[in-house]
């Protein structure tokens, strides 16, 4: 019974409620005891670093807003059960009244690879700056000052920026998030 062929499908959900809908689906799976049919429910997310009030905040952001991936054998009543869950709009690729269309293997590998890559990548941010480049300070006490990058410390993820303050050049140690390129 547990050897059904399971394929990946994309469930369309109300944007911003992906995790809530995922919980609803998982609750229905356990309530109706249909775990043999539905292997896993996945909301692809990525880790994002935001700067708020001068502090770095790590957040998870939904990578495909409005979409949930589901590995399942959609036979019998399973598609109807999923469509009846609050917040579910339907399946991706389905023709009005037609059957849900499974994802191709290449698409699944790309999406799952992206999810793994984003979770592993975590903080391996590519250094977007080069020595001698002009930047503008966008955060901290020197907000609004322009300067030139003198050194890049990859381990600490800091930049030494030479800024003119009161006519004198002064070195500042700033994080990548505190500056932006002058275009």
- Domain harbouring 138, CATH code: 2.30.30.30
Boundaries of domain holding 145: 134-181
107 and 139, same domain (yes or no): no
CB atoms within 10 A of CB 106: 8
pLDDT of residue 1: 47
Q: What percent of the chain stands above pLDDT 70?
A: 86
User: Residue 95 maps to which CATH number?
Assistant: 3.30.70.940
Does 55 lie in the same domain as 11? yes
Does the pLDDT at position 160 exceed 70? yes
Domain match, 15 and 96 both: yes
User: Is 104 among the domain residues?
Assistant: yes
Q: What is the pLDDT of residue 30?
A: 92
- What per-residue confidence (pLDDT) applies to 50? 74
Q: Looking at per-residue confidence, does 122 or 11 come out higher?
A: 11
Residues 6+ apart with CB under 8 A from 61: 45, 46, 47, 48
Q: Clarify whether residues 78 and 161 are in a common domain.
A: no
What is the average per-residue pLDDT within 98-123?
Answer: 70
- As a whole-number percent, the residues of the chain with pLDDT over 90 amount to 32
> In this structure, are 174 and 96 located in the same domain?
no
Q: Is residue 127 in some structural domain?
A: no
Domain end among 121, 143, 169: 121
pTM over 0.75, yes/no: no
Looking at residue 130, its pLDDT comes to 86
161 lies in the same domain as 115: no
Q: How many domains does the chain have?
A: 2
CA 91, CA 47: separation in Å to the nearest integer?
A: 26
């Amino acid at each position: 019974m547990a050897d059904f062929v399971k394929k990946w499908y994309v469930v369309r959900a109300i944007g911003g409620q992906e995790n809530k809908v995922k919980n609803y689906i998982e609750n229905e799976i356990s309530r109706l005891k249909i775990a043999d049919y539905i292997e896993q429910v996945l909301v692809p997310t990525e880790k994002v670093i935001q700067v708020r009030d001068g502090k770095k905040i790590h957040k998870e952001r939904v990578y495909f807003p409005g979409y949930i991936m589901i590995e399942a054998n959609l036979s019998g009543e399973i598609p109807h059960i999923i469509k009846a869950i609050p917040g579910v709009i339907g399946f991706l690729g389905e023709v009005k009244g037609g059957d849900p269309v499974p994802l191709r293997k290449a698409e699944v590998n790309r999406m799952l690879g992206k999810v793994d890559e984003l979770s592993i990548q975590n903080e391996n941010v590519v250094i977007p700056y080069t020595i001698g480049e002009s930047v503008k300070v966008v955060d901290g006490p020197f907000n609004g000052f322009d300067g030139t990058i003198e050194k890049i410390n990859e381990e600490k993820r800091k930049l030494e920026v030479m800024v003119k303050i009161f006519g004198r050049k002064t070195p500042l140690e700033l994080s990548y998030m505190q500056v932006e390129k002058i275009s």
